[in-house]
Chains A and B, each alone.
Chain A
Amino acid sequence: MSKIQYQYDPTHFEASEPLVTKKENLRVEEMILNIGPQHPSTHGVLRLEVVTDGEIITDVIPHIGYLHRCFEKHAEKLPYNQIIPYVDRLDYVAAMNNEHAYVMGVEKMLGIDKDIPKRVEYIRVLVAELNRISSHFVAIGTYGLDIGSFTPFLWVMRDREHINRLLEWVTGARMLYNYIWVGGLYYDLPLGFEERCKDFITYLKPKLKELQTIIVDNKIFVERTANVGVLPMDLAINYGVSGPCLRASGLRYDLRRVDNYSVYPELDFDIPVGEGKVGTVGDCWDRNYVRVQECWESVKIIEQCLEKLTKEHKRTRDFDPQAMVPKKIRPKEMDYYARAENPKGELGFFFRTTGTYDIPFRVKVRSCCFVNLSVLPAIAKGVLLSDLIAILGSLDLVMGEIDR
């Protein structure tokens, strides 16, 4: 027995999501085009109100909030360790990185961030970098779909499946893990994981070369994306853009190096930046080039982590990944803004704690996609309508994180 809960009424939509552009202010040749919220190229439930003059875009207004799940309200009602599953669901294609950022913030507030065993830290970085590759694969693959090349999508999904299976083996879940805990990990790595992961890296390297050939070196791809959606560095900084989008604009800024958190200072990797090899610095091609290069750097990090995990910090019988997990998570009274480098940019968590309660007073998420999307109206003015889709895809948005 299902009762009808909602009676459709066209006025409801006008009241809840009104158009910003007034129809009477439009010029004769202009029109309003609505893209989304259910459109495959918007990567989720993003609605764009586009004012076009023929095929030229005069204005873009993003309407967001269709996936709003009140994360911040939930977080005010839950203890710190129970927030972690919600954190997974922010950027659901890079859940490990979210957990890592959140957990580091809480550990810093508790003052136990220096006592975490090295093996735990290396496992954290290992799984986070695996997830970074898988997130970049989704970005590159779906970007191919957006601009009309189907093959790379199938290729990256095939390779991402291996990562998903590896992480499923470790955590028991394919996308939303709840694996990194405050003070430790849920489990140690399963027996034989290091060897399997090494095999996977051997398998992945030629595939990354193939991906490079079919995406960034491909003449059709270059023609389509070079000089499209140029984001100059000053504009990027002023809009607070972070992650690959900022690095593609030419700034070598990576929080893994700036903050030197976790074990990243002990690891050797480069920070790729956009150089404008085929077009202008900061165009759509550069953003994807940076992502592909970052996959190579992640592979480097994973290899070093595996090296450490099999030699220096190898598995022992008495190693307990939950040894440092505190019984009671109650930080002192303070305000703290923790940040970490996600695949998509700077993910920040602001905490206010009261010191008398196990539940945070306020948690605010500084979402990287939210900020990266806000730059879209600035760079999409005056471009062709088909280029709008190319620009939108190159920003690599995940609506779960924008709407929270």
Chain B
Amino acid sequence: MTSEDIHRILTEKFSGENRIRLLKYALQDQFLIDKNDLVELCMELYSNPKLYFDYLACITGIDNGPEKNTMEVLYHINSLVNELRIVLKVVLPRERPEVHTVSHIWRTANWHEREAYDMFGILFTNHPDLRRILMPADWQGFPLRKDYSEQYTYHGIKVKY
């Protein structure tokens, strides 16, 4: 099944002008979707027997920097049974990056979303346990943002060395 086929199956359910856009790349195609469609679409990907995407491999947060003023969340989802791979892309505004969690569908998402929150400050609504995961709980700022500058001291320790 090619990504066009997946796109066709998905647009049957999610009809509308450019609701799901297929972005062709040289190596891996991406599906650009609206953030309000995310949960419904993931549920469809997970439960449709023709697709059955049962394995969430990775969630990546990306900060495009202050000039573009957007953030992205990429979902790499596999179907072990049908041997399919798909990449979903959600674009968020940089001022208040907020997207619904998918951790109730794939529980892998729980920790990956926590990591994206920790590193980029992307908020995942309805997440069961949105805490920092790698950095200490009282760390200031989100380290992987492009305009991040570290705090001067942390509990009396100089951060920059």
Contact = CB atoms under 8 A, between A and B. Distances in A.
B156 A6 contact: yes
Interface stretch (A39-47, A174-182, A345-353): A345-353
Interface residues of B, number: 40
Contacts of A350: 58, 60, 74, 76
Given A334-B25, A334-B26, A348-B58, A374 B108 contact: yes
B133 interface: yes
A239 B134 contact: no
Contact of A335 (B30, B133, B144, B158): B30
A378 B119 CA distance: 25
A18 B137 contact: yes
Contacts of A20: 129, 131
Given A352-B62, A370-B111, A335 B135 contact: no
B14 interface: no
Given A65-B133, A251-B80, A339 B57 contact: yes
Interface string A366-394: 10001100100010000000000000000
Contacts, number: 103
A68 B134 contact: yes
Contact of A65 (B129, B134, B158): B134
A378 B108 CA distance: 12
Interface string B11-36: 00000000000000111101000000
Nearest to B64: A361
Contacts of A364: 58, 60-61
Interface in A217-243: 237-240
A237 B80 contact: yes
Contact of A238 (B62, B107, B133): B107
B134 A64 contact: yes
A323 interface: no
A237 B137 CA distance: 30
A335 B157 contact: no
B108 A239 contact: yes
Interface residues of A, number: 46
B54 interface: yes
A366 B111 CA distance: 11
Interface string B112-136: 0000000100000000010111111
A25 interface: no
Contact of B56 (A9, A240, A335, A362): A240
A17 interface: yes
Contacts of B155: 6, 9, 12, 15-16
A337 interface: yes
Nearest to B76: A337
Contacts of B110: 374
A139 B101 CA distance: 34
B137 to A, nearest CB: 6
Contacts of A72: 119, 144
A341 interface: no
B127 to A, nearest CB: 14
A106 interface: no
A366 B28 contact: no
B143 interface: yes
For B25, B76, B134, which residue has the most chain A Cβ atoms within 10 angstroms?
Answer: B134
A240 to B, nearest CB: 3
B83 interface: yes
A370 B118 CA distance: 15
A362 B111 contact: no
Given A350-B74, A374-B111, A16 B55 contact: no
B91 interface: no
B138 interface: yes
A109 interface: yes
B137 A335 contact: no
Contacts of B57: 240, 337, 339, 346, 348, 366
A70 B119 CA distance: 10
B87 interface: yes
Interface in A25-73: 64-65, 68, 70, 72-73
Contacts of B56: 240
Contacts of B87: 335, 337
Given A12-B155, A64-B134, A251-B80, 12 more contacts: A6-B157, A9-B155, A15-B137, A108-B27, A238-B106, A239-B107, A240-B106, A337-B87, A348-B76, A350-B58, A374-B108, A378-B107
10 contacts: A6-B157, A7-B156, A20-B131, A65-B132, A68-B134, A70-B143, A339-B57, A350-B58, A374-B108, A374-B110
Interface of B: 25-28, 30, 54-58, 60-62, 74, 76, 80, 83, 87, 106-108, 110-111, 119, 129, 131-139, 143-144, 155-158
For the complex of A and B, the 3 pairs showing the least CB-CB separation, nearest first, are: A240-B108, A16-B136, A65-B134
